[in-house]
A and B are shown apart, each in its own frame.
Chain A
Amino acid sequence: MCIDCGCQQANKVAFEEIRREKENLKFRKIEVKTSILDKNNKIAETNRQWFLDHKLLVFNLMSAPGSGKTLLLEKTSTRLKDSINLGILVGDQERDFDAKRLEAAGAKVKQLNTASSCHLDAAMIRGELGEFVKPEFSHLIIENVGNLVCPASFDLGESRKVAILSTTEGEDKPSKYPLLFHEADLIVITKIDLVQYLEFSFATCVQHIRGVNAAAPILCLSAKTGQGLDAWLDYVRLGSVAN
């Protein structure tokens, strides 16, 4: 080989081809084409079947921390405990404050701690089926870890995904965290009693919601004052918005 006539370049190309051919002989290509969440999705499907077999209506409540999920569940539990057989699973990274609050409100509740994880996954729910989650329950509400990002990606096998947004968070959260609001079957705006102290426009908020979710019903309520709560209670009972 010399540096003048181009034979070096030609050899380089030839060597590269030989190297690739050798690698092709050694390597095997395996087509996979499955989601990385495949395992979670399969467990979620078995959960969903269990819920169907035992006729449980299951809600996955997702929101930012501090949106008022636990207060809403306290009121829900108190108001519905005579008409439905409700179980509640509450997810947090640490501690059992939520479970204690709900227990005090008379709810059948179990705390799930996710430790390092930022969301509940289908396997955590599977572990409770037939244990805390009794076949005779008619309804199960799962309060996910307060987080507007990760819970959206993990199917738990629920019947309905509910996204909760409080007025204090601002109108634009659905546009900033689109996946969670896009996936929701129902969107609840909480803390409407505080609107008088805030610069919060329902019209603007609805615009942001409709930008990512064209169809989901929107309920506005205050768990504290009870305003709008009846429509939410009907939704829990029926799994759809009452006409």
Chain B
Amino acid sequence: MHELSLATALVEQVAEIAVREKFERVVKIHLELGELSGVDRHCFEFCFPEVCKGSILEEAQLILDFVKLGRDFRIIDLDVL
């Protein structure tokens, strides 16, 4: 249920990184999603494109690594322009 908040937090976090690292567009975003992180993969994948509209992530390809027994939900890396 909180996947929408997480997707929003993700977009905000990437926007902050964009200011720091000086980039304008994200081509690919690579995330790690742990089985025990409390995040539902399908729900997140549904929310993500909606939240990204109008942001620097709008055209980004989403790569989700599902980690069995993992606890984290985190950004691994970004391909940026």
Q: Mark A17-56, 1 if CB is under 8 A from B, else 0.
A: 0000000001111111111111110000000000000000
CB of B6 within 8 A of CB of A37, answer: yes
Q: Mark A106-141, 1 if CB is under 8 A from B, else 0.
A: 000000000001110100000000000000000000
**Partner pick for A178 among B21, B36, B39, B73, CB 8 A cutoff:** B36
Chain A residues with CB under 8 A of B9? 36-37, 39-40
CB of A28 within 8 A of CB of B81, answer: yes
Stretch binding the partner chain, chosen from A84-92, A146-154, A224-232: A146-154
Q: Mark A152-166, 1 if CB is under 8 A from B, else 0.
A: 111000000000000
Number of B positions contacting A (CB below 8 A): 28
Q: Mark B54-81, 1 if CB is under 8 A from A, else 0.
A: 0000000000000000001111111111
CB of B74 within 8 A of CB of A36, answer: yes
Chain A residues with CB under 8 A of B74? 32-36
Q: A29-B78, A30-B78 are in contact. Are A39 and B13 (CB under 8 A)?
A: yes
Besides the known contacts A32-B74, A36-B10, 17 further A-B residue pairs in the complex with CB atoms under 8 A apart: A27-B28, A28-B23, A28-B81, A29-B77, A34-B74, A34-B75, A36-B13, A38-B13, A118-B2, A121-B5, A147-B1, A152-B38, A153-B39, A154-B2, A178-B36, A179-B36, A179-B38
